[in-house]
Amino acid sequence: MRFLRPADGHRDHRHRHRRGQSLVEFAIVLPILLLLTVVALDFGRVYLGWINLQSMSRIAANLAANNPTAWQGGGDADVKATYQNQIRSDALATNCQLPTVAGVTTAPAPVFIDRNGNGATDDLGDSASVGLSCTFELITPGIKSILGNSITVSASSVFPVSNGMTDTMGGGPSGSAPTAAFTGNGTLAPNSLTGVAPFTVNFRDTSGGSPAIWLWTFPDDGTTSSLQDPLDHTFTTQGTFIVTMQVTNAWGTDTESMGITVVAPTTVDFNYVLSSPNAPSTAQFTDNSSPGGTSYDWTFGSGQGTGTGTSVSHVYNTAGTYSVTLTVTYPTGPVAVTKSITLGSALCTVPNFIGMKRNDAQALYTSKSFTGTVSSGPGAPNGNFTILSQSLTYTSPVPCNSNITVNNP
């Protein structure tokens, strides 16, 4: 027994007091840390939405600047529908709640500005402006009590009108060559895209300067398209392909391009070799998956443990069927495959019966030629045998630890 001196007891009491105080402080701070984490996630969502909103406004303003007359008079219903569909689809992809007009989600129309003061808003030098606002729902209770259940963010973009005619020095009409531009899956060229085959890309023209002719070239399969928006094109071949779009009007031609990288789908597989078809047996597993994996994780079956690496081994001591799973992690995510392994029951090694009696009433058994099926029998201790046949053949490698019964009809 150890007796504490008064000073020791005092120090021990202070130690317990400080430990209890730390737990109390942690319990007080924990809700604050959780609240700050949720607040960070909430504002992170809103910030990402604002970035996407900026991209949406730029694409919409570019489309409006390329088609300024579509909003004059009766306008061009197809262009205005393309404008609305582009914004609505982008907003849906980012969980952006646009304003509703008569119960219909509607993007605000572009605003055209007469920059040169000639009374028109659709010729060179003028501009098209698009302002968008989105409402994002908040999830943090404390923030909701201050800002309400939602927060509205806004973004705007201005693009110069690339269409129209100007009168120069009293001469005839003149214009400018178009400016080629397009998007693939919402990404503006010349930015590139990467996907796993088959990789489908939605292409949309956003060119300026009112082009009259379009020529798309897809080098993966050698096809071309003269449509303004060829929309979906599926890449099935692995490699990097430069998609080009050439636009032409009466004053010239311009070309834009986008790199599309297509990678082969990942395949996860493995081989195994058993030291014996019956338990106990050692299984040697070898990965045979597509290259590029960063980690290899194995499960050897229920209750059999796990392993890592491209080559692993595991010992199965009991007969049965085991589900073995290999999970390979690639930069695009984890991929798994499962295979079944079945192991038979262990066999007993049958000893030489020469010189052994079948029972006390019979003479010594002198033959070692037997034919039959060997199985473990219950109840008898090691070394006792019951022979139900005149013959027996054995090749089993495992020693017997119970009764042997020979069944031969």
- pLDDT tens-digit profile of 157-190? 877 776 544 443 344 455 688 899 999 999 999 9
Is 167 contained in some domain?
Answer: no
Is 233 contained in some domain?
Answer: yes
Q: Are residues 109 and 215 in the same domain?
A: no
Is 163 contained in some domain?
Answer: no
Is 164 contained in some domain?
Answer: no
Q: What pLDDT is recorded for position 306?
A: 95
Q: What pLDDT is recorded for position 256?
A: 95
Q: Are residues 39 and 104 in the same domain?
A: yes
Asked which of 4-8, 253-257, 389-393 is least confident by mean pLDDT, the reply is 389-393
Q: Are residues 90 and 13 in the same domain?
A: yes
Q: What pLDDT is recorded for position 313?
A: 96
Report yes or no: 85 and 59 within 8 Å, Cβ to Cβ.
no
Is 324 contained in some domain?
Answer: yes
Stretch 359-384: mean pLDDT, rounded?
42
Rounded to whole angstroms, the Cα distance separating 127 from 178 reads 16
- pLDDT tens-digit profile of 190-231? 999 998 889 999 999 999 888 889 999 999 999 999 999 998
Q: What pLDDT is recorded for position 63?
A: 80
Q: What pLDDT is recorded for position 255?
A: 94
Q: Are residues 321 and 207 in the same domain?
A: no
Q: Are residues 335 and 319 in the same domain?
A: yes
Q: Are residues 33 and 135 in the same domain?
A: yes
Is 56 contained in some domain?
Answer: yes
- pLDDT tens-digit profile of 372-406? 444 444 443 344 444 444 444 444 455 554 445 54
Q: What is the CATH number of the domain that holds 330?
A: 2.60.40.10
Q: 215, 239, 263 — which closes off a domain? A: 263
Q: Are residues 379 and 283 in the same domain?
A: no
Q: Are residues 198 and 62 in the same domain?
A: no
Q: 343, 376, 396 — which closes off a domain? A: 343
Q: What pLDDT is recorded for position 388?
A: 44
Rounded to whole angstroms, the Cα distance separating 96 from 87 reads 10
If pLDDT is split at 50, 70 and 90, which confidence band does 71 have?
A: confident
Q: Are residues 119 and 18 in the same domain?
A: yes
Q: How many structural domains compose the chain?
A: 4
Is 213 contained in some domain?
Answer: yes
Q: Which domain holds residue 256?
A: 182-263
Q: Are residues 15 and 148 in the same domain?
A: yes
- pLDDT tens-digit profile of 278-299? 888 999 999 999 888 899 999 9
Q: 124, 158, 192 — which closes off a domain? A: 158
- pLDDT tens-digit profile of 100-146? 776 677 788 888 887 767 777 777 767 888 888 877 776 666 655 66
- pLDDT tens-digit profile of 310-322? 999 999 988 899 9
Q: Are residues 325 and 352 in the same domain?
A: no
pTM over 0.75: no
Is 389 contained in some domain?
Answer: yes
Q: Are residues 306 and 328 in the same domain?
A: yes
